[in-house]
């Protein structure tokens, strides 16, 4: 401790000292990310902390690019890093070469992050989902050409619909390039337009094995497919992004085949039942119409069409008879009246009275003399008899005294 050293020398010394330590050269540290800054350069700067302490971290672009999930503040991670001193600032920091999600695993975290992002973007929107056709003229399958999946699908289809038509685009379902080959196959089927429905899938496996079906490129191709897509990835309990984007999720590849194709004999039975109902319905209708016609024909007006006329004729005859007798009665009554009246008239005729010996006296003016008071002695009176008249002069007037 004699000669003072420069700051630069000190920092270099400490840095070299730290880097010599094997334990600090590749140390795994767990903590929570905070104050994360992602620079345009691609480098990530953040602080890793626990309850009591914190340490600065840097992850350079080359390593950061390989991250499967997107680190954000609050993410619990395990980093693999080299501990050293940034000599310019005299700052102790970790140079991170790898980072995994702590606890849940980074694939799971990546899955959750992708799911949320695509969901927010609307890729899982039920309104976008297309109906699976009831009878696809051909089924497109995107899976591995070897293995149980295609075999199961072919077997199930054969059982349900012996003359099914299937086109397979063989793809790699796991490993490097798998996602791209799956997406390309879906796009190819859409270009060709040769099938009515697509089954995209693979058998069960680890999250790692199924990973291709969680990748964005697959999700995008499923979303833009105009052919309805049935997703059948893994087992019943496995869910992939592809399942969420697809138009229908099948729990297994066999189930996908069942969802894609009806049972032919079932369909034939249904058609036959409908045909029977057509026949039955029409024959019932025609029976009904016949019955109605019979009922109409048996109504009196149609069964005995002349009856009404006969009745009317009878009624008319009766009326005519009644009219005639009424007329007759009226006539004889009139005749009788006439005889009586002419009898009376005859009896009242003054000539008849005169013939019996009575006379009518009249004055010069022709007025009948009904009282002695109407004449005076000396008056000329005419006395009418039945066969002529007497011109007389009144000599004397005697009032009635017949006693």
User: Rule CB under 8 A: which residues touch other proteins?
Assistant: 133-135, 137-138, 145-147, 150-151, 154, 161-170, 188, 192, 264, 267-268, 270-271, 274-275, 277-279, 281-282, 285-286, 289
Least separation in angstroms between CB 190 and other proteins: 13
Would you say 72 or 293 has its CB closer to other proteins? 293
Contacts of 321 (CB under 8 A, 6+ apart): none
What Å distances lie between residue 359 and 35, 261, 362, 381, 386, CA to CA?
A: 168, 140, 10, 12, 8
> Between 26 and 274, whose beta carbon lies closer to other proteins?
274
**How far apart (Å, rounded) are the C-alpha atoms in residues 231 and 197?**
11
Residues paired with 92 in a beta bridge: 85
User: Is the Cβ of residue 73 or residue 272 nearer to other proteins in the bound state?
Assistant: 272
Tokens of 85: 């001193």
Q: How far is the CB of 256 from other proteins (least distance, A)?
A: 16
State in angstroms the smallest separation of the CB of 212 from other proteins.
Answer: 19
Kindly state the DSSP code that residue 344 receives in the 8-state scheme.
H
For other proteins, the closer of residues 282 and 326 by Cβ is 282
264 near 272, Cβ under 8 Å? no
Which residues neighbour 367 within 8 Å (Cβ) at sequence distance 6 or greater? Answer: 374
CB of 189 or CB of 211, closer to other proteins: 189
Q: What is the DSSP letter of 29?
A: E
Q: Which is nearer to other proteins, 269 or 312 (CB)?
A: 269
In whole angstroms, the minimum distance from the beta carbon of 172 to other proteins comes to 14
Question: What's the token pair of residue 169?
Answer: 């685009």
Nearest distance in Å: CB 167, other proteins: 5
Min. distance of Cβ 211 from other proteins in angstroms? Answer: 24
Question: Residues near 361 by Cβ (< 8 Å), separated by ≥ 6?
Answer: 368, 369, 381, 382, 383, 384
Instruction: State how far Cα 335 lies from the chain centre.
Output: 91
């Amino acid at each position: 401790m004699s000669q003072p050293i420069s700051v630069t020398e000190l920092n270099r010394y400490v840095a070299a000292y730290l880097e010599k330590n094997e334990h600090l050269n590749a140390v795994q540290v767990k903590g929570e990310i905070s104050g994360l800054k992602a620079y345009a350069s691609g480098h990530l700067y953040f602080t890793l902390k626990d309850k009591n302490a914190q340490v600065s971290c840097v992850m350079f672009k080359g390593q950061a690019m390989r991250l499967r999930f997107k680190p954000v503040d609050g993410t619990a991670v395990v980093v693999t890093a080299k501990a050293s001193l940034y000599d310019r600032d005299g700052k102790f920091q970790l140079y991170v070469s790898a980072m995994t999600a702590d606890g849940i695993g980074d694939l799971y975290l990546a899955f959750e992050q992708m799911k949320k992002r695509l969901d927010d973007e609307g890729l899982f929107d039920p309104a976008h989902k297309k109906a699976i056709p009831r009878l696809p003229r051909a089924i497109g399958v995107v899976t591995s050409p070897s293995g149980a999946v295609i075999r199961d699908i072919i077997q199930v289809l054969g059982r349900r619909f012996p003359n099914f038509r299937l086109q397979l685009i063989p793809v790699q379902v796991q490993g490097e390039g798998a996602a791209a080959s799956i997406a390309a196959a879906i796009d190819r089927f859409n270009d060709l337009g040769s099938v009515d429905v697509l089954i995209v899938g693979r058998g069960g496996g680890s999250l790692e094995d199924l990973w291709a079906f969680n990748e964005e490129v697959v999700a995008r191709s499923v979303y833009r497919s105009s052919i309805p897509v049935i997703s059948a990835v893994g087992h019943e309990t496995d869910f992939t992004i592809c399942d969420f984007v697809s138009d229908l999720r099948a729990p297994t590849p066999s189930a996908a085949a069942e969802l894609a194709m009806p049972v032919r004999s079932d369909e034939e039975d249904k058609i036959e039942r409908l045909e029977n109902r057509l026949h039955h319905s029409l024959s019932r209708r025609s029976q009904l119409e016949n019955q109605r016609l019979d009922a109409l024909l048996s109504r009196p007006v149609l069964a005995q069409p002349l009856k009404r006329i006969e009745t009317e004729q009878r009624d008319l005859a009766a009326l005519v008879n009644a009219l005639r007798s009424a007329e007759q009665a009226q006539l004889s009554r009139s005749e009788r009246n006439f005889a009586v009246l002419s009898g009376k008239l005859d009896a009242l005729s003054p000539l008849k009275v005169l013939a019996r010996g009575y006379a009518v006296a009249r004055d010069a003016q022709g007025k009948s003399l009904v009282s002695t008071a109407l004449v005076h002695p000396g008056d000329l009176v005419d006395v009418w008899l039945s066969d002529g008249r007497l011109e007389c002069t009144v000599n004397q007037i005697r009032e009635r005294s017949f006693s």
